[in-house]
Protein backbone atom coordinates (compact mmCIF):
# COMPACT_ATOMS: atom_id res chain seq x y z
CA UNK A 1 0.00 0.00 0.00
CA UNK A 2 2.79 2.42 0.91
CA UNK A 3 4.64 1.69 -2.34
CA UNK A 4 1.42 2.28 -4.26
CA UNK A 5 0.85 5.64 -2.59
CA UNK A 6 4.43 6.74 -3.19
CA UNK A 7 3.91 6.34 -6.95
CA UNK A 8 0.99 8.75 -7.07
CA UNK A 9 1.26 11.89 -9.13
CA UNK A 10 2.13 15.00 -7.14
CA UNK A 11 -0.78 17.47 -7.31
CA UNK A 12 -0.18 20.54 -9.43
CA UNK A 13 -0.10 23.98 -7.86
CA UNK A 14 -3.57 25.48 -7.54
CA UNK A 15 -4.10 28.88 -9.17
CA UNK A 16 -7.08 31.18 -9.45
CA UNK A 17 -7.57 29.87 -12.98
CA UNK A 18 -8.71 26.61 -11.39
CA UNK A 19 -11.47 28.45 -9.53
CA UNK A 20 -12.45 30.34 -12.69
CA UNK A 21 -12.67 27.05 -14.56
CA UNK A 22 -14.91 25.61 -11.83
CA UNK A 23 -17.21 28.62 -12.22
CA UNK A 24 -17.41 28.27 -16.00
CA UNK A 25 -18.07 24.55 -15.85
CA UNK A 26 -20.67 25.13 -13.14
CA UNK A 27 -22.56 27.60 -15.31
CA UNK A 28 -22.44 25.19 -18.26
CA UNK A 29 -23.63 22.29 -16.11
CA UNK A 30 -26.43 24.44 -14.69
CA UNK A 31 -27.88 24.72 -18.22
CA UNK A 32 -27.92 20.93 -18.74
CA UNK A 33 -31.54 20.38 -17.54
CA UNK A 34 -32.74 22.87 -20.15
CA UNK A 35 -31.32 20.86 -23.04
CA UNK A 36 -31.29 17.28 -21.67
CA UNK A 37 -34.05 14.81 -20.87
CA UNK A 38 -34.89 13.16 -17.57
CA UNK A 39 -32.61 10.18 -18.25
CA UNK A 40 -29.60 12.39 -19.02
CA UNK A 41 -30.28 14.44 -15.90
CA UNK A 42 -30.30 11.30 -13.74
CA UNK A 43 -27.04 10.11 -15.31
CA UNK A 44 -25.56 13.57 -14.78
CA UNK A 45 -26.57 13.50 -11.12
CA UNK A 46 -24.83 10.15 -10.60
CA UNK A 47 -21.65 11.50 -12.22
CA UNK A 48 -21.71 14.59 -10.01
CA UNK A 49 -22.46 12.50 -6.93
CA UNK A 50 -19.72 9.92 -7.48
CA UNK A 51 -17.21 12.56 -8.55
CA UNK A 52 -17.85 14.60 -5.41
CA UNK A 53 -17.68 11.51 -3.18
CA UNK A 54 -14.39 10.42 -4.74
CA UNK A 55 -12.96 13.95 -4.47
CA UNK A 56 -13.88 14.07 -0.77
CA UNK A 57 -12.37 10.62 -0.15
CA UNK A 58 -9.30 11.62 -2.16
CA UNK A 59 -8.68 14.50 0.23
CA UNK A 60 -7.85 12.02 3.01
CA UNK A 61 -6.56 9.08 0.98
CA UNK A 62 -4.80 10.68 -1.99
CA UNK A 63 -3.31 13.70 -0.27
CA UNK A 64 -2.86 12.46 3.31
CA UNK A 65 -2.40 8.71 2.86
CA UNK A 66 -5.40 7.79 5.05
CA UNK A 67 -6.78 5.04 2.83
CA UNK A 68 -10.20 4.46 4.37
CA UNK A 69 -12.77 1.80 3.55
CA UNK A 70 -15.27 3.35 5.92
CA UNK A 71 -16.78 5.88 3.50
CA UNK A 72 -20.11 4.08 3.63
CA UNK A 73 -20.25 4.87 7.35
CA UNK A 74 -20.04 8.63 6.80
CA UNK A 75 -22.37 8.37 3.81
CA UNK A 76 -24.96 6.55 5.94
CA UNK A 77 -24.65 9.13 8.72
CA UNK A 78 -25.48 11.83 6.18
CA UNK A 79 -28.45 9.87 4.84
CA UNK A 80 -30.00 9.28 8.27
CA UNK A 81 -29.30 12.81 9.49
CA UNK A 82 -31.14 14.17 6.47
CA UNK A 83 -34.06 11.81 7.15
CA UNK A 84 -34.47 12.95 10.77
CA UNK A 85 -33.81 16.63 10.06
CA UNK A 86 -36.08 16.76 7.02
CA UNK A 87 -38.93 15.05 8.84
CA UNK A 88 -38.47 17.57 11.66
CA UNK A 89 -39.22 20.34 9.15
CA UNK A 90 -35.76 21.90 8.96
CA UNK A 91 -34.85 23.74 5.72
CA UNK A 92 -32.72 21.86 3.19
CA UNK A 93 -29.45 23.85 3.59
CA UNK A 94 -29.60 23.37 7.36
CA UNK A 95 -30.24 19.63 6.90
CA UNK A 96 -27.15 19.28 4.70
CA UNK A 97 -25.04 21.33 7.12
CA UNK A 98 -26.28 19.26 10.05
CA UNK A 99 -25.32 16.05 8.22
CA UNK A 100 -21.79 17.38 7.73
CA UNK A 101 -21.52 18.42 11.39
CA UNK A 102 -22.71 15.02 12.68
CA UNK A 103 -20.13 13.21 10.51
CA UNK A 104 -17.38 15.61 11.55
CA UNK A 105 -18.12 15.09 15.26
CA UNK A 106 -18.22 11.32 14.73
CA UNK A 107 -14.84 11.42 12.97
CA UNK A 108 -13.34 13.40 15.86
CA UNK A 109 -14.68 10.89 18.39
CA UNK A 110 -13.32 7.76 16.65
CA UNK A 111 -10.02 9.26 15.44
CA UNK A 112 -7.94 8.70 18.63
CA UNK A 113 -8.56 4.96 18.39
CA UNK A 114 -8.25 4.72 14.59
CA UNK A 115 -5.03 6.74 14.39
CA UNK A 116 -3.27 4.25 16.62
CA UNK A 117 -3.38 2.05 13.52
CA UNK A 118 -1.37 2.64 10.36
CA UNK A 119 -1.36 1.41 6.81
CA UNK A 120 -3.41 -1.69 6.15
CA UNK A 121 -4.47 -1.90 9.81
CA UNK A 122 -6.02 1.57 9.58
CA UNK A 123 -7.82 0.59 6.38
CA UNK A 124 -9.27 -2.56 7.96
CA UNK A 125 -10.21 -0.58 11.06
CA UNK A 126 -12.29 1.89 9.05
CA UNK A 127 -14.01 -1.00 7.27
CA UNK A 128 -14.91 -2.57 10.62
CA UNK A 129 -16.18 0.79 11.88
CA UNK A 130 -18.54 1.23 8.94
CA UNK A 131 -19.90 -2.29 9.38
CA UNK A 132 -20.38 -1.70 13.11
CA UNK A 133 -22.40 1.42 12.30
CA UNK A 134 -24.61 -0.52 9.89
CA UNK A 135 -25.31 -3.26 12.46
CA UNK A 136 -26.02 -0.68 15.17
CA UNK A 137 -28.53 1.24 13.02
CA UNK A 138 -30.10 -2.02 11.85
CA UNK A 139 -30.80 -3.14 15.43
CA UNK A 140 -31.53 0.17 17.16
CA UNK A 141 -35.35 0.63 17.33
CA UNK A 142 -35.34 4.42 16.89
CA UNK A 143 -33.82 4.10 13.41
CA UNK A 144 -36.72 2.07 12.05
CA UNK A 145 -34.83 -1.22 11.82
CA UNK A 146 -34.87 -3.02 8.48
CA UNK A 147 -37.95 -1.08 7.35
CA UNK A 148 -36.06 2.19 7.58
CA UNK A 149 -37.45 5.73 7.70
CA UNK A 150 -39.75 7.39 5.16
CA UNK A 151 -39.12 11.02 4.31
CA UNK A 152 -42.23 13.19 4.49
CA UNK A 153 -40.80 15.90 2.24
CA UNK A 154 -41.67 15.95 -1.45
CA UNK A 155 -39.19 14.02 -3.57
CA UNK A 156 -37.25 16.36 -5.88
CA UNK A 157 -37.76 16.10 -9.62
CA UNK A 158 -34.90 15.03 -11.90
CA UNK A 159 -33.77 18.54 -12.75
CA UNK A 160 -33.99 19.64 -9.10
CA UNK A 161 -31.92 16.65 -8.04
CA UNK A 162 -29.35 17.44 -10.73
CA UNK A 163 -29.02 21.03 -9.52
CA UNK A 164 -28.69 19.89 -5.91
CA UNK A 165 -25.93 17.49 -6.98
CA UNK A 166 -24.27 20.28 -8.95
CA UNK A 167 -24.25 22.66 -5.97
CA UNK A 168 -22.77 20.02 -3.67
CA UNK A 169 -20.19 19.00 -6.30
CA UNK A 170 -19.06 22.61 -6.81
CA UNK A 171 -18.79 23.14 -3.05
CA UNK A 172 -16.69 19.99 -2.65
CA UNK A 173 -14.40 20.93 -5.54
CA UNK A 174 -13.92 24.48 -4.25
CA UNK A 175 -13.14 23.18 -0.74
CA UNK A 176 -10.54 20.78 -2.17
CA UNK A 177 -8.94 23.56 -4.24
CA UNK A 178 -8.84 25.89 -1.21
CA UNK A 179 -7.16 23.17 0.85
CA UNK A 180 -4.57 22.55 -1.86
CA UNK A 181 -3.93 26.27 -2.13
CA UNK A 182 -3.37 26.63 1.63
CA UNK A 183 -0.25 25.84 3.63
CA UNK A 184 -1.85 22.77 5.17
CA UNK A 185 -1.53 20.96 1.82
CA UNK A 186 2.21 20.64 2.47
CA UNK A 187 1.54 19.05 5.85
CA UNK A 188 -0.96 16.63 4.30
CA UNK A 189 1.57 15.52 1.68
CA UNK A 190 4.34 15.26 4.28
CA UNK A 191 2.20 12.89 6.37
CA UNK A 192 1.35 10.90 3.25
CA UNK A 193 4.98 10.48 2.18
CA UNK A 194 6.40 9.56 5.60
CA UNK A 195 4.56 10.24 8.85
CA UNK A 196 7.58 9.64 11.09
CA UNK A 197 9.82 12.01 9.15
CA UNK A 198 7.02 14.60 9.08
CA UNK A 199 6.75 14.40 12.87
CA UNK A 200 10.52 14.90 13.22
CA UNK A 201 10.26 17.98 11.03
CA UNK A 202 7.70 19.51 13.38
CA UNK A 203 4.46 18.56 11.64
CA UNK A 204 1.69 17.82 14.11
CA UNK A 205 0.72 14.57 12.48
CA UNK A 206 -2.28 13.71 14.66
CA UNK A 207 -3.86 17.12 14.17
CA UNK A 208 -3.16 17.02 10.43
CA UNK A 209 -4.69 13.57 10.00
CA UNK A 210 -7.67 14.49 12.15
CA UNK A 211 -8.26 17.62 10.09
CA UNK A 212 -8.21 15.71 6.79
CA UNK A 213 -10.23 12.76 8.08
CA UNK A 214 -12.95 14.93 9.63
CA UNK A 215 -13.25 17.23 6.61
CA UNK A 216 -13.40 14.27 4.23
CA UNK A 217 -16.07 12.56 6.34
CA UNK A 218 -18.12 15.76 6.59
CA UNK A 219 -18.12 16.25 2.82
CA UNK A 220 -19.08 12.62 2.19
CA UNK A 221 -21.97 12.94 4.67
CA UNK A 222 -23.18 16.14 3.00
CA UNK A 223 -23.31 14.35 -0.35
CA UNK A 224 -25.02 11.37 1.27
CA UNK A 225 -27.75 13.63 2.62
CA UNK A 226 -28.83 14.43 -0.95
CA UNK A 227 -29.15 10.70 -1.64
CA UNK A 228 -31.82 10.49 1.07
CA UNK A 229 -33.95 12.98 -0.87
CA UNK A 230 -33.39 10.96 -4.04
CA UNK A 231 -34.67 7.73 -2.50
CA UNK A 232 -37.44 9.00 -0.25
CA UNK A 233 -36.76 6.16 2.17
CA UNK A 234 -33.56 5.32 4.05
CA UNK A 235 -32.64 1.79 5.15
CA UNK A 236 -29.49 0.53 6.90
CA UNK A 237 -28.34 -1.87 4.20
CA UNK A 238 -28.73 0.79 1.53
CA UNK A 239 -27.36 3.79 3.41
CA UNK A 240 -24.37 1.94 4.90
CA UNK A 241 -23.95 -0.52 2.02
CA UNK A 242 -20.43 -1.57 1.08
CA UNK A 243 -21.29 -0.76 -2.52
CA UNK A 244 -20.82 2.95 -1.82
CA UNK A 245 -17.28 2.40 -0.55
CA UNK A 246 -16.43 0.18 -3.53
CA UNK A 247 -17.71 2.78 -5.99
CA UNK A 248 -15.89 5.65 -4.28
CA UNK A 249 -12.54 3.85 -4.14
CA UNK A 250 -12.89 2.53 -7.70
CA UNK A 251 -13.68 5.98 -9.10
CA UNK A 252 -10.76 7.63 -7.28
CA UNK A 253 -8.19 4.99 -8.26
CA UNK A 254 -9.30 4.70 -11.88
CA UNK A 255 -9.43 8.48 -12.32
CA UNK A 256 -6.24 9.16 -10.37
CA UNK A 257 -5.65 9.45 -6.63
CA UNK A 258 -3.85 12.56 -5.45
CA UNK A 259 -5.02 14.58 -8.47
CA UNK A 260 -7.57 17.37 -8.75
CA UNK A 261 -9.39 16.16 -11.87
CA UNK A 262 -8.95 12.39 -11.45
CA UNK A 263 -12.09 11.72 -9.36
CA UNK A 264 -14.29 13.40 -11.93
CA UNK A 265 -12.68 11.52 -14.82
CA UNK A 266 -13.18 8.28 -12.90
CA UNK A 267 -16.83 9.16 -12.19
CA UNK A 268 -17.57 9.71 -15.88
CA UNK A 269 -15.84 6.44 -16.76
CA UNK A 270 -17.59 4.33 -14.09
CA UNK A 271 -21.09 5.77 -14.63
CA UNK A 272 -20.97 5.53 -18.43
CA UNK A 273 -19.54 2.01 -18.18
CA UNK A 274 -22.41 1.09 -15.87
CA UNK A 275 -24.95 2.50 -18.33
CA UNK A 276 -23.35 0.57 -21.20
CA UNK A 277 -23.55 -2.66 -19.16
CA UNK A 278 -27.03 -2.01 -17.82
CA UNK A 279 -28.39 -5.07 -19.61
CA UNK A 280 -25.62 -7.27 -18.20
CA UNK A 281 -25.69 -6.74 -14.41
CA UNK A 282 -24.13 -10.15 -13.77
CA UNK A 283 -20.84 -9.13 -15.41
CA UNK A 284 -20.86 -5.44 -14.51
CA UNK A 285 -18.92 -5.73 -11.24
CA UNK A 286 -16.56 -8.30 -12.75
CA UNK A 287 -15.60 -5.90 -15.55
CA UNK A 288 -15.14 -3.01 -13.11
CA UNK A 289 -12.89 -5.25 -11.02
CA UNK A 290 -10.79 -6.20 -14.04
CA UNK A 291 -10.46 -2.53 -15.05
CA UNK A 292 -9.43 -1.63 -11.50
CA UNK A 293 -6.74 -4.31 -11.42
CA UNK A 294 -5.40 -3.25 -14.83
CA UNK A 295 -5.26 0.41 -13.78
CA UNK A 296 -3.39 -0.39 -10.55
CA UNK A 297 -0.96 -2.63 -12.47
CA UNK A 298 -0.28 -0.56 -15.57
CA UNK A 299 -1.48 2.99 -14.68
CA UNK A 300 -0.89 3.44 -10.92
CA UNK A 301 -1.53 7.17 -11.29
CA UNK A 302 -4.94 6.56 -12.83
CA UNK A 303 -6.25 7.80 -16.16
CA UNK A 304 -5.78 11.50 -15.44
CA UNK A 305 -2.52 11.12 -13.56
CA UNK A 306 -1.01 9.01 -16.35
CA UNK A 307 -2.16 11.47 -19.01
CA UNK A 308 -0.74 14.40 -17.04
CA UNK A 309 2.64 12.73 -16.56
CA UNK A 310 2.76 11.80 -20.27
CA UNK A 311 2.07 15.40 -21.30
CA UNK A 312 4.71 16.70 -18.89
CA UNK A 313 7.23 14.25 -20.35
CA UNK A 314 6.43 15.43 -23.85
CA UNK A 315 6.87 19.07 -22.81
CA UNK A 316 10.29 18.30 -21.33
CA UNK A 317 11.35 16.56 -24.54
CA UNK A 318 10.45 19.58 -26.67
CA UNK A 319 11.81 22.19 -24.24
Lowest mean pLDDT among 15-19, 171-175, 199-203, 233-237: 15-19
Q: Evaluate if residue 5 carries a pLDDT over 90.
A: no
How much is the pLDDT for 31? 77
Question: pLDDT exceeding 90 applies to what percent of the chain?
Answer: 39
Average pLDDT, rounded, for the chain: 86
Nearest alpha-carbon partner for 170 in 52, 73, 79, 42: 52
Residue 275 has pLDDT above 50, yes or no: yes
Average pLDDT over every residue of 2-16: 46
Q: Is residue 4 over pLDDT 60?
A: no
Query: pLDDT band at 1, cuts 50/70/90?
Result: very low
Q: For 11-29, what is the mean pLDDT? A: 67
**Among candidates 304, 255, 267, which has minimal Cα distance to 43?**
267
DSSP sequence for 243-279: HHHHHHHHHHHHH-TT-SSHHHHHHHHHHHHHHHTTT
What burial class does residue 319 get, using C-beta atoms within 10 Å of its C-beta: 0-12 exposed, 13-18 middle, 19+ buried? exposed
- Strand extents, DSSP E, 22-78: none
Phi, psi of 234 (to 5 degrees): -115, 135
pLDDT tens digit string along 155-196? 788 888 888 888 898 899 889 888 988 888 889 989 998 888
Quickly state the pLDDT bin for 208 (edges 50, 70, 90).
very high
| Contact indicator for 170, 24 with CB cutoff of 8 Å | no
> Does position 23 have pLDDT exceeding 80, yes or no?
no
pLDDT at position 9:
39
Other beta carbons within 10 angstroms of residue 198's beta carbon come to 20
pLDDT in tens, 89-134: 899 999 999 999 999 999 999 999 999 988 889 999 999 999 999 9
Q: Could you tell me the residue ranges of all domains in the chain?
A: 12-241
202: phi > 0 → left, psi -120 to 50 → alpha, else beta; which? left
* 36 or 219, higher pLDDT: 219
90's enclosing H/E stretch is none
pLDDT in tens, 55-90: 999 999 988 889 999 999 999 999 999 999 999 989
Amino acid sequence: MKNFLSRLATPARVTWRDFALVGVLGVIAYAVPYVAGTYQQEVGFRILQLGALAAAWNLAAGYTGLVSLGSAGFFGLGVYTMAFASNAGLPLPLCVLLAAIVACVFAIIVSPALFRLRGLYFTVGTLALAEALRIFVLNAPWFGGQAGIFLTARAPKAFELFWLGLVIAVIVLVVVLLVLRSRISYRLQAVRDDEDVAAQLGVRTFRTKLWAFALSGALIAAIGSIQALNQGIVQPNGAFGMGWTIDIVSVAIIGGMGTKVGPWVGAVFIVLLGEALLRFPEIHMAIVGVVLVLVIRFMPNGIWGTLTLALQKKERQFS
